[in-house]
Structure 1
Amino acid sequence: MSFLGIDLGTGSLKLAIIDEEGREQCATSVAYAIDTPQPGWAEIDPQIWWRALCEAAARLPDAQRGAVRAIGFSGQMHGIVLSDAHGEPVRPAMLWPDTRAVSLLDAWPDPQPNPVAPGMAGPLLRWIALREPQSLRAARWALQPKDWLRVRLGGATATDPSDACATALADPAGNWDRELLARLGLPGEWFAPLALSYAAGGTLSGEAARALGLRAGIVLATGAGDTPCAALGSGLSRDGDALLTTGTGGQIVVLATQEPDAARGLHRYRAATDHWYRMAAMQNVGVALEAVRGWLSYEWHDAYRDAFEADAVSGLAFLPYLTGERTPWLNPAARGGWLGLALGTSRGAMMRAAFEGVAFSLRAGLDAIRQSGARVPVLRLAGGGSVDPRWRQLLADALDAELHAVDCPNAAARGAAILGGLAAGHWHAGDLAALAPTATRAAEPHSNPALASRYARFLDLYGRVEPWFAPS
């Protein structure tokens, strides 16, 4: 017996099969591209997701597919798929990087229970209501990406609290805000009923089973957003458990048994299980380091070598906010750059300042979480951008936290598979702690007064230049 996890990401679809003990047996992925028909738009034909799923499933060993008894779903959050009564999309899916609705955020005046971004379902659907009446008339359902895919497989039309609460159309527990929907001109019947992430949400249809090489009738879990699935797959199961992910952006997630208090710049969402989580979301981690590497004409090996062999320059600072910032500043207009350059500044020193600037931006997000009441002395560490031991040590020192690297390369897909096992009744909530993957201590923080001084300067610098970012 085994369980399949489907992680429907922004740029790729990943599959992972785990056995009865929660151990990964095999995994595969298929990449695809986002469409940008106009500047600031981010769309994709949902049928591309279906074809990617069929292609990825065909790469899995036949014996592993034959043993699957349940499927769970993880999905990119915030985007939206408008579909008709038969589940067919009436227009391309709109995704979280989409900024076309940035001028429509006045419908969500402060204070809000969670920060609202233009790529969330609420602002995107408001844009639809104002600009595409034909789509409005043709639509029967407004579904989250993973929910559309589950329906395509024969599952129930439903969503879960972890996805619903991140739409800007529901309260923090995921309950639809009917008054807000009416005020925005959005039909309330568009929005699927709530079900627990680990509840059974229908069974695999015969047509879908033939397309994927699986058994018809196996259980489909409702599923959850990719962030809570990654937390589950990485072993977060108790109050205070924390995870740092470093990819294109960065996220710090801290599990909580009770609903956290609202705090500016932080998200408080429902988890895939019966927990909540606080989340700090920082936009510029891998994207900023990759940009700097390109500007300085570095290969990654040389960039790490020169950056960590170079002495830190006390007068050199780098703001990494190349795409604006969410936590803690909530400033989409924020921008970045170096300050303190001199004729003798080396490439290595500039690269080192970039690593430090990214680490400081993560620390600013973690500070917001700590100020909200969570201690966070230890962080589980995941993400492809957190492998180099020198970078890990800098992160530990900057964050003042011990880092434990998680042995789980496909955390969101694994979390989705665990939801499948829960839906099938193979596991129960009390089993989750025992399913946590191995985590090895990767770095412990060292006292570094000079680094602390540079962090204080970083915060002061942002405060001084922030007025430049405001529209004229």
Structure 2
Amino acid sequence: MTFLGIDLGTSGLRALLMDAAGAVLGSAERPYQVAHPHPGWAEQDPADWIAALDGAVEELRAVPGFAALRGIGVAGHMHGATLLDADDQVLRPCILWNDTRSSAEAAALDGSDGLRETSGNIVFPGFTAPKLLWVERHEPEVFAKVAKVLLPAAYLNLYLTGAHVADMSDSAGTSWLDTGARDWSETLLAAGHMTRDQMPRLVEGCAEAGPLRADLAANWGLDGPVTVAGGAGDNAAAACGIGALSEGQGFVSLGTSGVLLAARDGYAPDPATAVHTFCHAVPDRWYQMGVMLSATDSLNWLARITGASPAELTAALGETLQAPGVVRFLPYLSGERTPHNDAGARGSFTGLSAGTSRDDMTRAVLEGVAFGLRDSLMALKQTGARIDRLIAIGGGSRSDYWLKLIATVLDLPLDLPAEGEFGAALGAARLGQCAAGADWQQVMTAPEIARTVTPEPGLVADYAEAYERFRAAYDGIRAVQ
């Protein structure tokens, strides 16, 4: 038996095939684009996701064992609003998680009585509910035709099964879910001018969403029945991929956005911290995370304007962690979530001089992202989360300098998985395996750790002081904007 994990990312889709023992047999990737028709907007055509999935599957069909596929799981970038009419036709491009057009609607919705208490979260502009209020206000002809709203992963579930099904972890980021009760809230739906009929059916991420469509199974050359799992939001799936499901387990992810996630055995929301409190992809578990919107995106931005690759920028710093630099960078290129909930925040450099070099600016960007992650750590600790160490994942974790910096700024050891697969695609495959009958407590294991990056003891205090200056710089910038 084999299992397919699909990671529907912001910039591309990755499909991974694994066997029943968890060994990866093959993977395939397909890129697609994000459209930015106006400043602050981010959209995608869901047809591009289907084309990417079809292309990835066609490549994986050549991998021995693909025909024995028995389970599929989909992980997707969260919060996206895919609007369908009564015939399941897409009404407009999907509005993505990093789209900030609905900041006014989010602020108004966040002020609704009891909303934070029921959802467990602040209503961020990137969440799904304010997007629909924006559509109602600015595209009323589209809003009038909305029969179903699906998150990106749920839209792929529809393609795979023909049914409108979503999981708890993804749905918790809509501002329509009672996150403690793990069900749609009539009160929250009414506040967002939506109805339960417009929502997909809810299942746990490791439970069955439905069987794979017979025509797809035939086209893919499969020799038996295939179960599609409920799936997960991308970060919940990544937690499944590294076995972070219980109190004290967590990870820091250096991707497009920066995420610091802690698994929780119980439901302990604290919306005022701007920490996200979501259902996990397995029953009776939750997770909390702090999110910064521009992590590797900040380094990618610097790379674009300097004409160097991100790897070239970080390699030039060497391997020895330096003391905090005099140049400071605020990493708010697209606004910020934790802890500021400030869509209007913008990035800046301070401390520049005629002698400032490219390396100085690179260090400032890496430090700014590390300080943003410390913001999330402090907010998570305020909720009572226990964080003793973290697994580091994501593209940015390939930089040893950045890892040493983050470990020192957080004053926590960072564990690096051994070579191999982990993360959202693997977590999605594991969810598919569970939906096909496996026990999630046996499947969701932690990876082998290759090495641990520890804080530089002689620099922890220096970076703690630099962090306080970073916080003061944000307060000063916002005071004059």
Task: Give the TM-score, by structure 1 length.
Answer: 0.92
Would the alpha carbon gap of residues 310 and 265 (structure 1) be closer, same or farther in structure 2, given more than 3 Å must change?
closer
State how 1:318-467 maps to structure 2 within 5 Å: 318-407=329-418, 408-409=420-421, 411-425=423-437, 427-433=438-444, 435-447=445-457, 448=459, 449-467=461-479
Shifted more, 325-334 versus 88-97: the winner is: 88-97
Identity %: 34
Letter in 2 for 1:141: K
Partner of residue 89, structure 2? 88
Answer yes or no: is the 8 Å Cα contact 1:155–1:220 preserved in 2: no
Report Cα offsets for 1:402-423 as digits up to 9, x if no partner.
1111245451111111111111
Q: What is the distance in 2 between the residues matched to 1:22 and 1:222?
A: 19
2:34 pairs with 1:34: yes
Would the alpha carbon gap of residues 356 and 184 (structure 1) be closer, same or farther in structure 2, given more than 3 Å must change?
closer
2:249 pairs with 1:237: no
Would the alpha carbon gap of residues 310 and 403 (structure 1) be closer, same or farther in structure 2, given more than 3 Å must change?
closer
Answer yes or no: is the 8 Å Cα contact 1:244–1:380 preserved in 2: yes
| Secondary structure of residue in 2 paired with 1:98 | coil
Report Cα offsets for 1:343-364 as digits up to 9, x if no partner.
3333322322222122111111
Shifted more, 164-173 versus 213-222: the winner is: 213-222
Partner of residue 174, structure 2? 167
Shifted more, 87-96 versus 209-218: the winner is: 209-218
Shifted more, 199-208 versus 274-283: the winner is: 199-208
Letter in 2 for 1:78: H
Answer yes or no: is the 8 Å Cα contact 1:311–1:349 preserved in 2: no
Task: Report the number of matched residues.
Answer: 467
Answer yes or no: is the 8 Å Cα contact 1:310–1:349 preserved in 2: no
Shifted more, 81-90 versus 14-23: the winner is: 81-90
Would the alpha carbon gap of residues 346 and 81 (structure 1) be closer, same or farther in structure 2, given more than 3 Å must change?
closer
Report Cα offsets for 1:238-296 as digits up to 9, x if no partner.
21101100011100110011002314210100011121001000112111122223444
Shift, 1:41, TM fit: 3.1
Partner of residue 76, structure 1? 77
Shifted more, 155-164 versus 253-262: the winner is: 155-164
Answer yes or no: is the 8 Å Cα contact 1:83–1:139 preserved in 2: yes
Shift, 1:299, TM fit: 4.0
2:313 pairs with 1:303: yes
Answer yes or no: is the 8 Å Cα contact 1:312–1:353 preserved in 2: no
Would the alpha carbon gap of residues 205 and 398 (structure 1) be closer, same or farther in structure 2, given more than 3 Å must change?
same
Q: 2:266 aligns with which of 258, 276, 280?
A: 258
Q: What is the distance in 2 between the residues matched to 1:311 and 1:199?
A: 48
Task: Give the TM-score, by structure 2 length.
Answer: 0.91
Answer yes or no: is the 8 Å Cα contact 1:205–1:217 preserved in 2: no
Would the alpha carbon gap of residues 250 and 301 (structure 1) be closer, same or farther in structure 2, given more than 3 Å must change?
closer
Answer yes or no: is the 8 Å Cα contact 2:121–2:269 preserved in 1: no
Partner of residue 8, structure 2? 8
Q: 2:301 aligns with which of 268, 288, 291?
A: 291
Shifted more, 371-380 versus 265-274: the winner is: 371-380
Identify unmatched segments of 5+ residues in structure 2.
Answer: none
Partner of residue 118, structure 1? 125
Shift, 1:219, TM fit: 1.0
Shift, 1:396, TM fit: 0.8
Q: What is the distance in 2 between the residues matched to 1:245 and 1:19?
A: 26
Q: 1:190 aligns with which of 170, 178, 198?
A: 198
Shift, 1:99, TM fit: 2.5
Answer yes or no: is the 8 Å Cα contact 1:83–1:142 preserved in 2: yes
Letter in 2 for 1:423: A
Would the alpha carbon gap of residues 372 and 180 (structure 1) be closer, same or farther in structure 2, given more than 3 Å must change?
closer
Would the alpha carbon gap of residues 301 and 93 (structure 1) be closer, same or farther in structure 2, given more than 3 Å must change?
closer
Would the alpha carbon gap of residues 302 and 45 (structure 1) be closer, same or farther in structure 2, given more than 3 Å must change?
closer
Shift, 1:376, TM fit: 1.3
Answer yes or no: is the 8 Å Cα contact 1:54–1:211 preserved in 2: no
State how 1:16-55 maps to structure 2 within 5 Å: 16-55=16-55
Q: What is the distance in 1 between the residues matched to 2:150 and 2:274?
A: 26
CA RMSD of aligned residues (A): 2.2
Identify unmatched segments of 5+ residues in structure 1.
Answer: none
Q: What is the distance in 1 between the residues matched to 2:348 and 2:228?
A: 47
Answer yes or no: is the 8 Å Cα contact 2:206–2:440 preserved in 1: no
Report Cα offsets for 1:35-78 as digits up to 9, x if no partner.
33444333333222112111110111253321211111111110
Partner of residue 57, structure 1? 57
Letter in 2 for 1:95: L
2:113 pairs with 1:108: no
Q: What is the distance in 2 between the residues matched to 1:62 and 1:95?
A: 33
Letter in 1 for 2:377: L
Q: What is the distance in 2 between the residues matched to 1:317 and 1:363?
A: 15
| Secondary structure of residue in 2 paired with 1:99 | coil
Partner of residue 141, structure 1? 148
| Secondary structure of residue in 2 paired with 1:254 | strand
Letter in 2 for 1:194: L
Q: What is the distance in 2 between the residues matched to 1:375 and 1:133?
A: 46
Answer yes or no: is the 8 Å Cα contact 1:165–1:175 preserved in 2: no
Shift, 1:216, TM fit: 6.0
| Secondary structure of residue in 2 paired with 1:255 | strand
Report Cα offsets for 1:63-117 as digits up to 9, x if no partner.
3321211111111110122223443323332222222322222122177231222
Report Cα offsets for 1:197-217 as digits up to 9, x if no partner.
111121112222234343463
Q: What is the distance in 1 between the residues matched to 2:2 and 2:124?
A: 38
Letter in 2 for 1:161: M
Shift, 1:313, TM fit: 5.9
| Secondary structure of residue in 2 paired with 1:307 | coil
Would the alpha carbon gap of residues 197 and 301 (structure 1) be closer, same or farther in structure 2, given more than 3 Å must change?
closer
Would the alpha carbon gap of residues 135 and 350 (structure 1) be closer, same or farther in structure 2, given more than 3 Å must change?
closer
Answer yes or no: is the 8 Å Cα contact 1:16–1:410 preserved in 2: no
